[in-house]
């Protein structure tokens, strides 16, 4: 598509904030025009008769409307998603946060749809819990809402500093291994709940978080909430000192 490009970078202070807290919000990462264009592709990918998405919160093959559908690697279906202002800026910022040369980074996409009213609140989790337990990762997730995301519409919440505490035990939602979604085995403590931070964003803004940062959303949105993400990383390496017993990973396909 043809759009007015914008270049977004971050300051040393923002890099330090991310290192301390495990997350960072950026007010604007692309243009309104590109947000609308990505939204059109989003709608195509989530058409009911297009089998490129699945429900994170229910067993495969469940009848009825999806509660929390997602699609992985949307760029395989729409390669033009690889060449966007959003991705270019996300990679530039990720390189700063990871302390890596941008040319050495790889990225892949992810889209989530939170339907109004029936949409599911995302339980507390760490993204790395979904990934191969035999690899060591140096990565960051860049999430951009395609609609305004506020406290009433399912915005992201983060637990500051939780990326430094290692990977917590997870389980499949409700203990059902036929459900893709994961949740923490142990609930957050009252002290942790009090330190959790909501991160409202307008469409076209973005949040970045470490794959071990505990995150979630606390409410079902009253209106539609669409999100696109890019996971940006250096190449994962075999982990000879795995510091986690990811027994839950056998039932997760990523």
pLDDT in tens, 193-243: 899 999 999 999 999 999 999 999 865 555 556 788 888 887 555 554 444
Phi, psi of 58 (to 5 degrees): -135, 160
> What per-residue confidence (pLDDT) applies to 243?
44
- The answer to whether 229 and 111 are in contact (CB under 8 A) is yes
Residue 179: pLDDT band by 50, 70, 90 thresholds?
confident
Q: What is the pTM of this model?
A: 0.88
pLDDT for res 248: 40
DSSP structure class, residue 201 = B
Long-range pairs for 185-191: beta carbons < 8 A, 24 or more residues apart: 187/124, 188/124, 188/159, 188/214
Q: What is the pLDDT of residue 76?
A: 93
In this predicted structure, the answer to whether residue 117 has a pLDDT above a threshold of 80 is no
Higher pLDDT, 242 or 109: 109
Q: What is the predicted pLDDT for the residue at 242? A: 41
CB 185 within 8 A of CB 170: yes
Q: Please report the pLDDT score of residue 241 as a whole number.
A: 40
Whether 245 has a pLDDT exceeding 60, the answer reads: no
Q: Which domains does the chain have, with CATH numbers?
A: 12-251 (2.60.120.620)
Mean per-residue pLDDT over the chain, rounded: 85
As a whole number of angstroms, the distance between CA 144 and CA 188 comes to 26
Residue with more model confidence, 120 or 151:
151
DSSP codes joined into one string, 138-161: -EEEEEEESS-B-TTTT-EEE-TT
User: Is the predicted pLDDT of residue 111 greater than 70, yes or no?
Assistant: yes
| Residue that the structure tokens 């997602």 belong to | 70
pLDDT tens per residue across span 13-37? 999 999 999 999 999 999 999 999 9
Residue 51 has pLDDT above 70, yes or no: yes
What pLDDT does residue 119 have?
Answer: 59
């Amino acid at each position: 598509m043809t759009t007015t490009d914008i270049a977004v970078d971050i300051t040393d202070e923002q890099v330090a904030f991310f290192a301390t807290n495990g997350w960072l919000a950026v007010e604007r990462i692309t243009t309104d025009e590109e947000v609308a264009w990505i939204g059109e592709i989003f709608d195509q990918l989530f058409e009911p008769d297009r089998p490129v998405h699945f429900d994170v919160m229910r067993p495969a093959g469940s009848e009825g409307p999806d509660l929390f559908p997602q699609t992985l690697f949307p760029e395989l279906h729409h390669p033009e998603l690889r060449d966007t202002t959003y991705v270019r800026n996300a990679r530039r910022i990720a390189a700063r946060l990871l302390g890596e040369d941008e040319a050495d980074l790889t990225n892949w996409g992810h889209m989530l749809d939170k339907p109004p009213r029936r949409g599911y609140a995302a339980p507390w989790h760490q993204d790395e819990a979904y990934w191969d337990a035999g690899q060591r990762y140096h990565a960051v997730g860049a999430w951009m809402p395609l609609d305004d995301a506020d406290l009433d519409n399912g915005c992201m919440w983060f637990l500051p500093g939780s990326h430094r505490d290692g990977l917590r035990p997870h389980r499949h939602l409700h203990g059902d291994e036929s459900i893709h979604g994961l949740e923490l085995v142990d609930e957050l403590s009252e002290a942790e709940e009090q330190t959790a931070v909501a991160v409202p964003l307008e469409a076209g803004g973005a949040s970045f978080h470490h794959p071990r940062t505990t995150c979630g959303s606390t409410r079902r949105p009253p209106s539609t909430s669409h999100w696109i993400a890019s996971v940006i990383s250096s190449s994962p390496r075999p982990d000879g000192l795995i510091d986690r017993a990811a027994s839950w990973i056998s039932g997760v396909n990523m």
